[in-house]
Structure 1
């Protein structure tokens, strides 16, 4: 079977959309299928997708909606070739092109909203989104097969929008194989804590730094690293100010944005990965990757993969406030002797639920029932 994925662009600015797409292509490849990807050309070099054939299209106008007459025409002509069509995200023209082409060709259409149907996300630019919803986005959503990444993600959107349950499915974001191959952390006297988040108010970096400062003030020793792009200058300044004493004491460092190899190297050199998100996230990819790597994880419940992991006893789940984060880290540090056993169980769970083979089997089941 051959499926088509439609995404606005294949550049790093797509963030979670791009990592999810790469994982889905791997999952479908492992299931014995074939993937093609349609995206718009951008000034940045496109990401390389090992398990997909990529076709790029010239952008048109309006650019802010990622319009492309060339993509629209190609989809209309080629949609009958595919067994199913998947679109990543909402509000931009490529998703509408994909939906219309799938409808015309009578092919199953799957929408991956990537958190964009969450009440928290819909409240941002509320009026603009209400207009787009009325102009046709809402009709498309209600006729699509929608793929949510967690049960909590599904419930929040379904309850808020009154979506039909039979059209709302769960498909976890797949974790790349490389994370499962990571060796256990080398022993070290002090616990090594890593946070891989962009420096933005929604991501909770400031709250984490404040929590680390609380622990430092109580005499708790550790080495912490916060890595990620600095997107908001004012917020970055607040984070750096809050962590100044930790930096002087050699307890905190800021390496900035890391590439894929650098990210994996940081996780490999860490014992604990912390994800302190303040804003709601439909999944929390760094959490799943850290579990697959056999690391101990503390995660905010605002990342919607956290509740299922908390129920399974695999993460230290917290609220994204400094005191809660500090208390969660304290609990983990008190159980340091149990980390190897916890990490081993978490890795097994991650492979069974987030591994490419598991997601590939789920994709086959979804297509078989569509």
Structure 2
């Protein structure tokens, strides 16, 4: 059984001016939502509030139709997987998987059946008699997931569960998590600092910064229509270029250069208005008339390269994602055309109308 998760004006204050919220969101039953944001933005605190490990200063948390503010963590019907797995070292894998059921007084026969079911689901049947110290990091991670799943929770909370794995195993386990969610359909809230995990796993992404929600949307929404410069720069590898600009003589200017655009801009701008222009590295292309720049650093990635460029007549740098057949040498002069750009308020960072592709 799965349930809708709802937060209404939830805050958690640790000291005056220190904490998170107010936060309001609704995760529909069965959806997989990912929370991302820089270190210290409140991601883990939010999970701990939902799990009942901390109590909100104000606001309400609902699981299904039940307000769970006054319930202990064990009575909320949620299961949480931590970054460090938190397995009991003296117990076997089977005992770890069944521990939560044992604490709830589940009959030993039913408990054994559930442990075997979960072990088969995660492909760890052969590990049931081992102790955690005899397992690899990936195997321990599966056991931690299995212990949470064995309880058949209404809400599944994961706090950076893949961060201790190497890159290859993290990618493999990420795919397995996605498949597992398709099979089980448990309402899931997943915290990560890894934007690749967020973009590939989430039905929707919640971007947090300094304890506040910056934007909620599908991965495509956030990437293509960021609400502000924080979201724009946080999502995307390499990150979006954010450059100071001004509107002058019906043209955008970066430093002393007019910004070449494929169409006439139609934004409602004032003469001499200062702005922040956003350009993703993949939206830059070599052309005869473009932003003049010099290649200062080249980072080959195989089929493409990240090229750091210094704009002419400007102290600004920008990143260009160059295809393999156009990778320059350091010091080469470049003319970079822009196929798509974003405009942001120079003071608040809020998005203005973005230019269509």
Q: Same fold (TM over 0.5)?
A: no
Q: TM-score, normalised by structure 1?
A: 0.29
Is the strand fraction higher in 1 or 2?
2
Report the structure, 1 or 2, having the larger helix content. 1
Q: Give the TM-score normalised by the residue count of structure 2.
A: 0.29
